[in-house]
Amino acid sequence: MDTNKLKSKLVYNKIDPSTLLDSLKEKGINISKSSYYKRMRGEVEFSLSEIRSIADILELTPEEIMDIFFN
């Protein structure tokens, strides 16, 4: 996973981690802040449903999804 690209997309969309987690919760995905940061450090991988929801929130193209999550 390319965390720098994900972080840049979050900044570009003016979404901080708390806002992202709240948006994910609205989609039925509950991730704690500590779990989010473990994913961002690469200790735990995002699940497919989490990736789909993040892609929807950030309006990522299929190419961006591949670049960020499947490098």
Based on DSSP, count helices (H) and strands (E) in the chain, helices before strands.
5, 0
The yes-or-no verdict on residue 18 having pLDDT over 90 is yes
Q: Which domain, by its residues, includes 52?
A: 3-69
Instruction: Check which CATH number belongs to the domain holding 50 and give it.
Output: 1.10.260
pTM: 0.91
How many domains does the chain fold into?
A: 1
The yes-or-no verdict on residue 7 having pLDDT over 90 is yes
Spatial contact of 10 and 58, defined as CB atoms under 8 Å apart: yes
- For residue 64, the tally of other CB atoms under 10 A from its CB is 15
Distance CA 29, CA 70 (A): 20
Q: Calculate the average pLDDT of the chain.
A: 96
